[in-house]
A and B are shown apart, each in its own frame.
Chain A
Amino acid sequence: MKISSLLLFVLSFGSITAPLSNLSAQETKKLIVCSTTQTADFARNIVGDDMVVKSILPEGADPHTYEVRPGDARLVASADLCIENGWHLEGKDWMKQLCLDSGKKCVTAVTGIEPLKLVEEGTTVYDPHAWFTPKNGATYVRNITNAIVDIDPANQEKYESRARLYLIQLRDLDTWIRQEVNNIPANKRILITNHDAFGYFCQEYGFQSASPVGWSTGDEIGAGMSNAKRKEVIDSIKAYNVKAIFMETSVNPKTMQELATEAGVKVGGSLYSDSMGAPGSAGESYIGMMRENVIKIVTSLK
């Protein structure tokens, strides 16, 4: 009887403490809240399982027109680190506002990138879609790594080690894109998408670009569709004998389908633009979305 009591004590002690220790490990993990799926993916590649990373923007959603929900404010309020893309990608600066409301510091991931400047209605706007080159992606990774190290300097070595591996992957991605794009003759490198999300990509890999909507799908300066822009795009398609135009996964496809019919050109598929794909899809990661975009562009335009 005595032995069975002892056994019972040891077993019950173990069964109580084990789940408790798991729970406390989860509770003590720091929380990073990112505005977009891309910044969240960069952060995940740096923190591994050491921290929890959440994106406010769901996969496939549009950051320009996103409307914050009550849950977002609670999430930001509980964050140890908040990261936004910046340059007004988040329409009306919704991430900055959420951080301001909760008294949290907001790290801007595009800091240090040479901006692509767009002059819209007499105002200079910085194109916020900077993640579209792996080189700029490297700057996102550096900024996010520094911010993570700031909140957990004890594990600096681990974060920097993961960041270095990820930067190797970004370097390889950049080289691979150059090799693939090389299959498209220079005079056929014209990328027509719903909105001007691909400016950095086009500049880096030698494409011309056009879109009926402008730099933002929201209602910022110079954003939104106009008949003049629409006509310009159709004229460009005809003048350059463009083989295909592209929809975007985070934008309603209707405009581009109508435009394709009108211009007599095929649709080359949907490109991942302002947010990544759902978990399990090919575009669930930054590298995956870039890879799938390049494959669609090359096979449609070459």
Chain B
Amino acid sequence: MRPLLALITSILSIGLVYGYLEFAKRNRPSAGIEVDYAAKGEFKIDLTVTCPLEPDPFALDLEEDKALTLSFEGREIFKGTDLPQGEPVNIENFGQLQAGRIVTMNGKQVEQVGKNEFFVKVAIPFAYQNKAQAVRIRITQDGLTLVEKTLWSNAQGTAIEGIVIAELPAIVTPSPSNNLHEY
């Protein structure tokens, strides 16, 4: 009798919990307005490498992975081996950059800068590892430099790896009803 009672009680409890969760899910407040933080303007990247490149023997995929890869938010936007030494390579149409926004924290409006993170990786050929090598990255917005950074080879001289962040501030529009902005 007792095990049967325990079983019934358990089924009832599980049923009640499930019912409550379903109720809560249906009555959850909606996420609100969809906001587009996409930055406006034309963005371009100039990449310049100090040494000629060769296919990387330590790449995971010799067919696909090239000596230089540039990723934006985890997505490869450029890779190549035949890059002219000391000459900038222009990269366009690589995706949408995010502008900053204004958020409310502890009742105050705070600016949260839009951070657009690029990851660059260059495998340096053995013949060029005897001295420091570098890659320069320049990101422009409508022809104006947004960020320019030079990354140097690691201590062993085998590779260049690093992050470049293009920061886009928020611009507050004078709309009292919407504290979000347009950039």
Contact = CB atoms under 8 A, between A and B. Distances in A.
Contacts of B123: 171
B10 A6 contact: yes
A142 B10 contact: no
Contact of B156 (A10, A142, A164, A175): A175
B8 to A, nearest CB: 10
Nearest to B13: A6
B66 to A, nearest CB: 14
**Most chain A C-beta atoms within 10 Å of own C-beta, residue among B9, B57, B129, B156:** B57
B57 A138 contact: yes
A171 B58 contact: yes
A160 B74 CA distance: 14
B5 interface: yes
A175 B158 contact: yes
A9 interface: yes
B3 A142 contact: no
Contact of A163 (B9, B60, B159): B60
A120 B156 CA distance: 40
Contacts of A2: 2, 5, 9
Interface in B154-182: 156-159
Given A171-B158, A175-B158, A6 B58 contact: no
On chain A, which size bracket covers the interface? 20 to 34
Contacts of B129: 175
A116 interface: no
B10 A171 contact: no
B51 to A, nearest CB: 16
Contact of A145 (B2, B7, B57, B60): B60
A172 interface: yes
A170 interface: yes
Contacts of A13: 10
Contacts of B59: 138, 167
Contacts of A174: 58, 158
Interface in A193-212: none
A168 interface: yes
B57 A6 contact: no
A175 B123 CA distance: 13
Interface in A1-53: 1-2, 5-6, 8-10, 13
A137 to B, nearest CB: 9
A54 to B, nearest CB: 24
Contact of A138 (B5, B7, B58, B159): B58
A164 B60 contact: yes
A164 B64 CA distance: 14
B61 interface: yes
B158 A9 contact: no
Interface in B19-75: 57-62
Interface string A157-181: 0001001100110111011100100
A170 B58 contact: yes
**Most chain A C-beta atoms within 10 Å of own C-beta, residue among B6, B58, B59, B157:** B58
A179 B156 CA distance: 9
Contacts of A135: 57-58
Contacts of B5: 2, 5
Interface of A: 1-2, 5-6, 8-10, 13, 134-135, 138, 141-142, 145, 160, 163-164, 167-168, 170-172, 174-176, 179
Given A1-B2, A6-B10, A172-B156, 15 more contacts: A6-B6, A6-B9, A8-B6, A9-B3, A9-B6, A9-B7, A9-B9, A9-B10, A135-B57, A142-B60, A171-B158, A172-B158, A174-B158, A175-B157, A179-B156
8 contacts: A6-B6, A9-B10, A138-B58, A145-B60, A163-B60, A171-B158, A171-B159, A174-B158
Interface of B: 2-3, 5-7, 9-10, 57-62, 123, 129, 156-159
User: What are the 9 A-B residue pairs with the smallest beta carbon separation, nearest first?
Assistant: A9-B6, A175-B156, A171-B58, A5-B6, A167-B58, A5-B2, A135-B57, A138-B58, A175-B158
